[in-house]
């Protein structure tokens, strides 16, 4: 069932999920999984990566995850790992959009909500003078009140909403494309697979690689790139950083940027795609789940 064709408005989908908050998490996850993947959810003996992510939501509740998914609080977590040098420059932190001091921001920057993810919670500004500030404040005001309870993602429960203003990283060779995003699958502190997102703003493409930078023959919710993507500079250092940040978690995706050899922290993601994605070929749902240990 393609529920997005039935309910085309994202606002309507959020409203429906909000009305269904009374439904127990386990029942809701089974319903959503069936709707979004077309399969029954096996929580008793999960084998698939996507099944294990649903198990993760229900059963793994490490309090430090709350800090790790908060876009502001995670900075202290990164510092605690001795990695303050990879943090993107911070221009400000605000409790609500009305607090943003536009005069103190540079000409280019990124605004993002601290309690959410996805493109609708991010504002990229290349030219402050051309920015519709009232529209941005309205958008961010709406985003900060939305919780992540729709997908029953436990790590986001109870987060205090806010906004951070950060440095805008630039792809000097092709500014319109945006910088490449390296999303590293880590299992118990071991980096094993890498997703590379390129051309995000001019035709988003995505490739998958293993730890040795061999391209994996699959696609997901985004088309594969029409070119080979070179292994980034300081690749081994990126893997070391990902493993240090992922220590102690059965699974986490560590997102990093690499701009001309300089590594920057992106975010920590415990539930990629909220666990609702179909891989082609389907066997990779099992491959990515092999090292994901589902034990309390």
Strand 122-125, strand 181-187: pairing: unpaired
Quickly state the pLDDT bin for 116 (edges 50, 70, 90): confident
From the list 164, 79, 151, 82, the residue with the least C-alpha distance to 115 is 164
DSSP E strands: which ranges in the chain?
Answer: 90-94, 109-113, 122-125, 163-166, 181-187, 190-198, 205-210, 215-216, 252-259, 262-269
Q: Reduce the DSSP state of residue 208 to 3 states and report it.
A: strand
Q: Reduce the DSSP state of residue 254 to 3 states and report it.
A: strand
Average confidence (pLDDT) over 37-43:
96
Is pLDDT above 50 for 199?
yes
Number of C-beta neighbours around residue 161 at 10 A: 18
- State what percent of residues in the chain have pLDDT above 90: 75
Among 34-48, 166-180, 194-208, name the one with the lowest average pLDDT.
Answer: 166-180
Q: Please tell me the distance from the alpha carbon of residue 171 to that of residue 99, in angstroms, as a whole number.
A: 30
For residue 273, what are its two tokens? 């795609």
pLDDT of residue 146: 54
Q: Please tell me the distance from the alpha carbon of residue 197 to that of residue 218, in angstroms, as a whole number.
A: 14
pLDDT of residue 3: 47
DSSP 73-93: THHHHHHHTT-GGGSPPEEEE
pLDDT of residue 151: 86
- State what percent of residues in the chain have pLDDT above 70: 88
For residue 74, what are its two tokens? 């995670």
pLDDT of residue 7: 46
Give the global pTM. 0.91
In a 10 Å sphere around its CB, with 0-12 CB exposed, 13-18 middle and 19+ buried, how is residue 128 labelled?
middle
Quickly state the pLDDT bin for 218 (edges 50, 70, 90): very high
Is pLDDT above 80 for 244?
yes
pLDDT of residue 20: 65
Give Cα 20 distance to the centre of its chain.
Answer: 24
pLDDT (tens digit per residue) in 86-100: 999 999 999 999 999
């Amino acid at each position: 069932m393609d529920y997005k064709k039935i309910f085309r408005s994202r606002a309507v989908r959020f409203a429906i999920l909000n009305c269904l908050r009374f439904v127990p998490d386990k029942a809701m996850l089974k319903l959503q999984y069936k709707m979004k993947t077309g399969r029954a959810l096996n929580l008793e003996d999960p084998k698939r990566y996507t099944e294990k992510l649903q198990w993760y939501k229900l059963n793994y509740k490490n309090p430090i995850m709350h800090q790790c998914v908060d876009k502001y609080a995670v900075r202290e977590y990164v510092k605690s790992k001795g990695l303050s040098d990879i943090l993107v420059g911070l221009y400000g932190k605000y409790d609500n959009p009305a607090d943003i001091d536009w005069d103190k921001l540079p000409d280019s920057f990124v605004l993002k909500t601290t309690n959410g993810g996805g493109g609708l919670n991010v504002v990229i500004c290349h030219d402050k003078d051309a920015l519709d500030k009232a529209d941005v404040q309205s958008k961010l005001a709406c985003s900060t009140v939305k919780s992540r309870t729709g997908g029953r993602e436990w790590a986001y429960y109870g987060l205090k909403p806010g906004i951070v203003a950060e440095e805008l990283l630039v792809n000097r060779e092709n500014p319109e494309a945006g910088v490449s995003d390296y999303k590293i699958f880590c299992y118990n502190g071991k980096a094993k697979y890498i997703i590379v997102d390129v051309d995000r703003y001019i035709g988003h493409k995505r490739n998958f690689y293993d730890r040795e930078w061999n391209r994996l023959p699959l696609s997901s919710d985004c088309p594969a790139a029409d070119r080979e993507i070179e292994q980034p500079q300081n690749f081994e250092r990126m893997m070391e950083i990902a493993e240090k940040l992922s220590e102690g978690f059965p699974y986490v995706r560590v997102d990093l940027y690499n701009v001309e050899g300089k590594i920057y922290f992106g975010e920590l993601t415990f539930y990629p795609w909220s666990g609702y994605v179909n891989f082609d070929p389907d066997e990779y749902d099992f491959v990515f789940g092999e090292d994901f240990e589902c034990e309390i």
